[in-house]
Chains A and B, each alone.
Chain A
Amino acid sequence: MKNYELRRATLHDVDFLATVIIEAERSMTDKLGLSTIFDLSEDDIRSYLVSMLEEEVDGCEISVSSFMVATLNGKCIAAFGGWIEGFYDDMPSSLLKSNLIGYTIPKDKFAGIIDKRDIIKGIQIEREMYTHQLEYGYVISEERGNGLIGMIMNESLKSALNICPELKKSQVQIFENNPQSMNAYEKLGYRIVRRFESTHPDILKYMPYNVKLLMEKEL
């Protein structure tokens, strides 16, 4: 058994967290939604993600404080974002994320994005307030198959329950083209509760897949 360590992410981890977010967003395809929607290169997205993470906003998927990381010999090898939806002043994470993106990405990149709303709206899942939310899980390829995602998810949930013992649900969203993650989550007690599909003909130009699943675990 390898000597993995789990800990909360810090500002020192932002470069790794940017990689985590990019790889998780891609969902094993070459489509990076942030890149396609805003017509930005991956390098630009990476740089903007680092800036957003450095803002240290709490309570959404682009928050350093949301992430639990796993390390091996001091090197980051895996991470998963987790937070309690609406914990900070009842602000939905979608607005916190939207404010971060709107504040960071150059305004000239917003021309025409409202037209892309119709393309992706079928797979936008509203997060339930006061539930444990998980987003952006990633393990470097050399360390896959060792149960790291499960370890991190459990630790994230344990941490959330310490802050908020009355939590009733933990939820995670994944693209349907990721059966490996689905199986891993099912083994941890998560089950599919809803399926969201975009039938827009251009969806695959912007997103890795046209179907998202909401998986949930009762606590």
Chain B
Amino acid sequence: MEREEIVSRVRLVVVSVLKHNDFEMRDDLTAKDVDGWDSLSHMTIITEIEKDFGIRFKLKELNKLKNMGTLIELIESKLI
């Protein structure tokens, strides 16, 4: 899957969970930068991403996620 498609689908998940699109999908985007991305929405976003891509993250992988860029890379690595 092309990186662009991954980015687009992740963006759709985030918009669907947070019910707004007031953010820019850039590599250095973090939860703190996005209104409403708190601990409850974080769990939901991760769960919806797993469902959407048919993948499962390991706990160690989740705890190493620094920003949107590392999340996209992780998804890419699981789709190879």
Pairwise interchain contact B47-A107, C-beta atoms closer than 8 A: yes
Docked Cα-Cα span, A101 to B38, in Å, equals 13
A residues near B38, Cβ cutoff 8 Å: 94, 117, 121, 124
Binding site for B on A (CB under 8 A): 37, 55, 57, 89-92, 94-103, 107, 110, 113-114, 116-117, 120-121, 124
Dominant SS among interface residues on chain A: helix
B side interface size, CB within 8 A: 20
Interface string of B62-76 (1 = CB under 8 A from A): 111110000000000
Interface centre among A95, A107, A110 (most CB of B within 10 A): A95
Is B62 a contact partner of A99 (Cβ separation < 8 A)? yes
Contact in complex: B59, A99 (CB < 8 Å)? yes
User: In whole angstroms, how far apart are the Cα atoms of A120 and B17 in the complex?
Assistant: 17
Asked whether B39 lies within 8 Å of A97 as measured between CB atoms, the reply is yes
Tell me the residues in window 35-80 of chain B with beta carbons closer than 8 Å to chain A beta carbons: 36, 38-44, 46-47, 57, 59, 62-66
Nearest CB on B from A56, distance (A): 10
A45 → B minimal CB distance (Å): 15
In the bound complex, how far is the Cα of B47 from the Cα of A37, in angstroms? 16
